[in-house]
Chains A and B, each alone.
Chain A
């Protein structure tokens, strides 16, 4: 990784830490999205129950969040649970829901204390009530924080996100809030996507999307928002994804940015 001069780890929101060698501040992605894939494979490869894979994944996520904050990323979105994951064994799903509650109670709490703005995108209404109330309370309490935005996609589907946006718009047309169907355009749809929880509109679409475990697919994650996102696929399983891997992905991203000079498409 080269000599890295990294000072304190979890500084106060806004304080700028020194970047690892090779990374430039101006070329840092504003919004990084991560598909945290590979927890189960990690556990299976060690002959452990899948639950331990998810616990290891939690540790890696904590580290990822800390590092992104340290490197000055403005928004970090993680894909924690897809609408398609309900099909997993009931035991595992229940374990995950419990784990999410635990994560909100402790990990997210720590982030909130460190000026991070915490929010969830996805069909929150489809989650158990106890989890729903933890989500709304943590979002509410952190909404005025000025540090990094930490967005967790829970029970999320890119296609539902787009469909929900269209539904809301259709309602507005019906109710006369919107002139006509012809007023529907890209900007309007974008305003109604779930990523509108991110205050700064120019940060709503990810600049960089990392998917671990070697799978080369988007799997119904932020489809609209990924129109111009740099995709980086990493072979490592998520629990093994560490600071060095993040720096490598960021370095690759910056190399590509230099080549296009910001050429959008």
Chain B
């Protein structure tokens, strides 16, 4: 049934890139009287299912907000639990029978990776290398990420790059061109993907929480009430339908920018 549903959707434009804020794992665990760790695990299962759907639908990029720099403020045991789970799942990605391998998912870890502990960071780097030849769909996992941190990083790099250009060309510093929007964009961590077409935040919250602020300027925002582990096919379909409705206007805007 899913195949025919996706075929119908494919009559209209399919979003190239969907971003998700995975909100509600802890609330889900509470609701089901589970411990928090189980909430995150349920969340991970939802993520894999959603990736599968996106892949089948023809979406080329999926970005998720897995762990914000703000989340480091949580209680240490909570942070550790998430980090342990992440390590486990990243290592799992490297196995042949993982969804990542089966579905040809190329994985990127986006964020200030220096803030992660050594094990997680190394595993992440390994996973990026191991999947670099996969080409069916790209999964961008934002960890130790905030948009403002990303912009600061891009600002530093573009300033540095400009100075290097000036130095190497031997030109007098007063002659340099001023920084433009594209210069900042070029140095964003998220520069490996086009801007998202849809941003979905589960559990009914309508805030961006410092996620992809720069990139979601003309993105359709969708906030279903479902908690992240409860997200299903119908939410994806609804998001795509909404996207298709405003597509002509968004295309015009995009060409302007």
Q: Do the beta carbons of B156 and A228 come within 8 Å of each other?
A: no
Q: Do the beta carbons of B70 and A217 come within 8 Å of each other?
A: no
Q: Do the beta carbons of B149 and A218 come within 8 Å of each other?
A: no
**Does A220 make an interface contact (CB < 8 A)?**
yes
Known contacts being A224-B148, A229-B207, A229-B208, is A159 close to B222, with CB within 8 Å?
no
Query: Which residue, of A169, A185, A217, A229, has the highest number of chain B Cβ atoms within 10 A?
Result: A217
Q: Do the beta carbons of B147 and A227 come within 8 Å of each other?
A: yes
Q: Do the beta carbons of A217 and B220 come within 8 Å of each other?
A: yes
Query: Which residue, of A162, A169, A215, has the highest number of chain B Cβ atoms within 10 A?
Result: A162
Contact among B148, B178, B214, B253 for A186, CB-based, below 8 A: B148
**Does B91 make an interface contact (CB < 8 A)?**
no
Residues of B within 8 A of A224 (CB): 147-148, 151, 213
Known contacts being A87-B256, A218-B217, A227-B148, is A184 close to B155, with CB within 8 Å?
yes
Q: Do the beta carbons of B214 and A159 come within 8 Å of each other?
A: yes
CB distance from A84 to the nearest CB of B (A): 5
Q: Which residue of A lies closest to B185 (CB)?
A: A159
**Does A189 make an interface contact (CB < 8 A)?**
yes
Known contacts being A84-B257, A162-B151, is A215 close to B208, with CB within 8 Å?
no
Alpha-carbon separation in the docked complex, A182 to B147 (Å): 18
Alpha-carbon separation in the docked complex, A31 to B45 (Å): 39
Alpha-carbon separation in the docked complex, A87 to B179 (Å): 24
Q: Do the beta carbons of A84 and B206 come within 8 Å of each other?
A: no
Q: Place the interface of chain B in its size category.
A: 35 or more
Q: Do the beta carbons of B221 and A163 come within 8 Å of each other?
A: no
Alpha-carbon separation in the docked complex, A151 to B8 (Å): 46
Q: Which residue of A lies closest to B182 (CB)?
A: A163
Residues of A within 8 A of B218 (CB): 217-220
Q: Do the beta carbons of A226 and B213 come within 8 Å of each other?
A: yes
Q: Do the beta carbons of B253 and A216 come within 8 Å of each other?
A: no
Q: Do the beta carbons of B159 and A232 come within 8 Å of each other?
A: no
Q: Place the interface of chain A in its size category.
A: 35 or more
**Does B216 make an interface contact (CB < 8 A)?**
yes
Q: Do the beta carbons of A227 and B206 come within 8 Å of each other?
A: no
**Does B181 make an interface contact (CB < 8 A)?**
yes
Q: Mark A219-263, 1 if CB is under 8 A from B, else 0.
A: 110011011111111000000000000000000000000000000
CB distance from B94 to the nearest CB of A (A): 31
**Does B63 make an interface contact (CB < 8 A)?**
no
Contact among A189, A216, A232 for B152, CB-based, below 8 A: A189
Q: Mark B203-215, 1 if CB is under 8 A from A, else 0.
A: 0001111100110
Q: Do the beta carbons of B148 and A265 come within 8 Å of each other?
A: no
Q: Mark A155-168, 1 if CB is under 8 A from B, else 0.
A: 00011101101110
Q: Mark B141-184, 1 if CB is under 8 A from A, else 0.
A: 00000111101100110111011000000000100001111011
CB distance from A135 to the nearest CB of B (A): 23
Q: Do the beta carbons of B179 and A223 come within 8 Å of each other?
A: no
Q: Which residue of B lies closest to A225 (CB)?
A: B213
Q: Do the beta carbons of B181 and A160 come within 8 Å of each other?
A: yes
Known contacts being A166-B159, A170-B159, is A184 close to B152, with CB within 8 Å?
yes
Residues of B within 8 A of A128 (CB): none
Q: Do the beta carbons of B180 and A163 come within 8 Å of each other?
A: yes
Residues 55-79 of B contacting A (Cβ, < 8 Å): 68, 70-71
Q: Do the beta carbons of B209 and A265 come within 8 Å of each other?
A: yes
**Does B241 make an interface contact (CB < 8 A)?**
no
Contact among A166, A215, A227, A232 for B155, CB-based, below 8 A: A166
Alpha-carbon separation in the docked complex, A223 to B160 (Å): 24
Alpha-carbon separation in the docked complex, A177 to B219 (Å): 38
Residues of A within 8 A of B222 (CB): 216
Q: Do the beta carbons of B181 and A226 come within 8 Å of each other?
A: no
Residues of A with Cβ closer than 8 Å to B? 84, 87, 158-160, 162-163, 165-167, 169-170, 173-174, 181-182, 184-186, 189, 215-220, 223-224, 226-233, 264-265
Enumerate 13 A-B pairs (CB-CB under 8 Å) in ascending A order: A87-B256, A159-B217, A166-B155, A166-B158, A167-B179, A184-B156, A186-B148, A189-B148, A215-B246, A223-B213, A227-B146, A227-B209, A233-B221
Residues of B with Cβ closer than 8 Å to A? 68, 70-71, 146-149, 151-152, 155-156, 158-160, 162-163, 173, 178-181, 183-184, 206-210, 213-214, 216-222, 242, 246, 253, 256-257
9 new A-B contacts at CB < 8 Å, known A228-B210, A265-B70: A158-B213, A159-B257, A181-B156, A186-B148, A216-B222, A218-B218, A227-B146, A265-B68, A265-B207
6 smallest A-B Cβ distances: which pairs? A227-B210, A166-B155, A220-B217, A231-B206, A265-B70, A216-B221
